[in-house]
Amino acid sequence: MAQKNDRPIEYRNDKAREVVRESMAAFIEAESNRQSMITVTNVDPSPDFKSATIFVTVFPEHTETAALDFLRRQRSEARNYLKKHTRLARIPFLDFALDQGEKARQRLDDISRSL
């Protein structure tokens, strides 16, 4: 159970997570070749913020593997982008992953529309 004095820490973590999400979206927009649409859906930082997983969705789906390979090759450039464009105290090491939860939600939406 979170106590009153834990709220500033939670707020700071939420704000840092949002800064990373927005910055990574801008980085991907600037660096991608526009063969596919890559959307940053979530950021999952480690508790100490030394690392973070950036969750993305890719459209069209058949380009997911190529997009994920591209993002993983760009990890160090993405981290340098965070250094230049944010004022975070600790710049996390980044990894990219497909957002399977979002894919499941979209599939459920498709199924519910077909009913």
Give the integer Cα–Cα distance in Å for 89 and 113: 45
Q: What is the mean pLDDT of each run of 10 residues along the chain (115 residues)?
A: 62 89 97 92 93 95 94 97 94 95 79 84
Domains in the chain, ordered, with CATH? 4-114 (3.30.300.20)
The kind and range of the H/E element at 13 are helix 7-31
* pTM (2 d.p.): 0.83
pLDDT of residue 107: 80
At residue 16, what are phi and psi to the nearest 5 degrees? -65, -40
The reported pLDDT for the residue numbered 72 is 97
The pLDDT value recorded for residue 4 is 56
User: CA 112 to CA 115: how far, in whole Å?
Assistant: 5
Give me the pLDDT at residue 34, please: 85
Q: What is the pLDDT of residue 110?
A: 83
